[in-house]
Amino acid sequence: MATTLRSKNAEMSFRVGETIGPYKIVAQIGQGGMATIFKAYQTNLDRYVALKVMHPALKEDHSFVMRLQREATVIAKLSHPNIVAVHDFREYEGIPFLVLQYIEGKTLKDVLKTQKLNTQQILNIVRPVAEALSYAHARGVLHRDVKPSNILIDNEGHVYLSDFGLARITQSGESTASQDMMIGSPHYLSPEQAKSEPVDVRTDVYSLGVVLYEMFVGRVPFMAETTYATILAQINDPPPPPRSLNPRVPPAVEQVILKALAKNPNDRYPTVRDMMRALENAVRGPREVDEPAAPIPLIEYKPSPDLVTPSPQPRAATPPATSSKAPARPTQKSRAWLPLAIAFVVLVALLACLGLGVLALIPGLGSTPTPIIVTITTPTRAGLIPIPTATRPLILPPVPSLTRAISPTPVITLRGKIAYTVATGNNPDQRTIYIADADGTDARPIIEFGLWPSLSPDGKQIAYYRIREEGIYIANSDGSAAHRIVTGETCCAQWSPDGKRLMYLQGKLKLGDTRVVIINPDGTGKTEVVGGFSPAWAPDGQRIVYTACQPGTTQCGLHIFDLRANRATMITRDDGKTPHWSPRGDKIVYHADSGQGATNLFIVNPDGSGRTQVTFGKGNTGQAVWSLDGNSIFFRSDQDGKAWGIFVMRADGSGRRLLINNVPPDGDLWARELLSVGP
């Protein structure tokens, strides 16, 4: 009797309130035909995890147990910020289960039930899914079950791809599915999956195309009364054109979706990355149908001829992978300057003979350049692609530039201090604020559990957000004498130019529902200004620049709010973020999507004219701030996915130089943060 009772209790062990080893189950969050998902608290590591528990009725199915274990093995080898991580594979009283990264948020399926997404929101969701799939494909892993319920969106808006339960290892042909009996979800599986034919990366292209169709149209392309009829439709029927169901779908986007849904894999995009690139181009290209903009009180849009993507700039070819700072080779276009450069050098030589000393006015011309020495002093975040941390100064070769001989430019002279955040671990509170000299030397930690630092104009104080006992704090610039002036869900404090006021965001940060607030440094005089995020002061202290979207439309970008006139003006429509005003007040630097999944820096005039792209990376570049003299721009970049570093460049984008290497920002919130400079 005791043995029988223990057997029954074993099947009921995974219940809310029960403790399984170090995991205390707190909630059931999902259930499928083969497994149940629980939220659990891992006591020994003080974190929440998700337990994917096989149904007790299947525990005798040895092939299914092996499938679950193979799933753990497959995902554990995939380390990517947009793939749900596997922590462990365990068995409790005969019942196997996976221990997964817990994501606090919703599935895309839940989101699509309650709201219609605009084009920018769709891009923001599909792009990281495509990156996750591309990463898996490059390592020989096919997902084979891409669908909205397997796409998770956390409360910060970070997107994850989950459930590799049907994954296939392309090189070996091994599958995590038992004898390939489970072929995927009928509404999202590819025709070749439905026919049990060999598959490759294009099967995930098809499934992602179905997800894209559903996001734009509001329903899946094939809806039949039975599962069998749905599968037959996937094999034989052409999908209804998206515009026949939703005329607001741009024609170019429709073409991308239909190509992804081609029955023959040879007619689809060869890779997910190619599909994503085509989608980005379709969204940013000319549209025959514009989504109407709803009227916004107090918002005046000033159209600018420079709002479109700038014309291509002459730039250096991609440097060799062996060095992120290798000298750039002149492109074909740059060689057109060669005759002019030679003529100029001859002219300079003649003038030198006359005793005019022109060479002395052009640093580096006619002499051997001095290598740039950068000392690496800060930690490397776990989970990034390993980059060897130098134990000695890293000597970087100088970057030659033909335009330097034509347009003499002073050597960058850096003064003052720079403050920034470093992610020192994977836990959300493992964030430390550092301060360094503006040339990157003497970097040292000053505040633990801090984010979004802002140095005061006199350099004596620092405002920041504290993760523990959350709120806005002010401390001395060495981190001492910290005291809280604002409580609650806040972020992104910025000192006014005269140091007499602070501006910050308050509201539901995870939902993007925030308002710009101005307050005195002692916590008094709180005034709400306008809805938006990423605010920054103008040098005159009477205007702010910030990011906002027009409700009900896809039009998002930079706005300028005049505090005296109580009026906002929209100056860009490129979804730009973290703007920062130049000390002279004539330019604004910010980051925005530059296409193909890259984020780069742009400069624009305060009236919206003269928009110019000044960085051309293939990864993430942002957090830009002007130097105190306005001649340079500091920024943070992931160096095309290699490792995060802090750089400086001239205001025209030339002379890029690495100051501090291996300084990862908050992984989810990096795009909200600015660097900070002070005297």
Asked if 145 is an active-site residue, the reply is yes
Active-site annotation holder among 46, 61, 110, 145 = 145
Q: Are 482 and 499 in contact (CB under 8 A)?
A: no
C-alpha count within 13 angstroms, C-beta hemisphere, residue 286: 1
Helix (H, G, I), strand (E, B), or coil: what is residue 131?
A: helix
Token pair 């005049």 is found at 562
Partners of 626 in the β-ladder = 633
* Cβ contacts of 451 within 8 Å, gap of 6 or more: 421, 431, 433, 464, 465, 466, 467, 491, 666, 669, 673
Dist. CA 271–CA 263, nearest whole Å: 15
* Cβ contacts of 115 within 8 Å, gap of 6 or more: none
* Helices 202-217 and 272-284, packing angle to 10 deg: 30
Dist. CA 382–CA 630, nearest whole Å: 35
Q: Are 147 and 172 in contact (CB under 8 A)?
A: no
Dist. CA 46–CA 23, nearest whole Å: 10
Closest to 629 measured CA to CA, from 679, 580, 579, 578: 679
Residue 89's Cα: distance from chain center in Å?
Answer: 30
The string of DSSP codes covering 226-250 is: SHHHHHHHHHHPPPPPHHHH-TTS-
List phi, psi (to 5°) of 116: -100, 125
C-alpha count within 13 angstroms, C-beta hemisphere, residue 47: 14
Q: Are 623 and 669 in contact (CB under 8 A)?
A: no
List phi, psi (to 5°) of 68: -65, -40
Angle value at C-alpha 321, between 647 and 649, nearest 5 degrees: 20
Q: What is the dihedral sign for C-alpha 274, 276, 278, 281?
A: negative
Q: How many residues does the chain have?
A: 679
Q: How distant, in Å, are the alpha carbons of 316, 347, 366, 399, 411 from that of 344?
A: 21, 5, 12, 20, 20
Dist. CA 536–CA 200, nearest whole Å: 48
Active site residues: 145
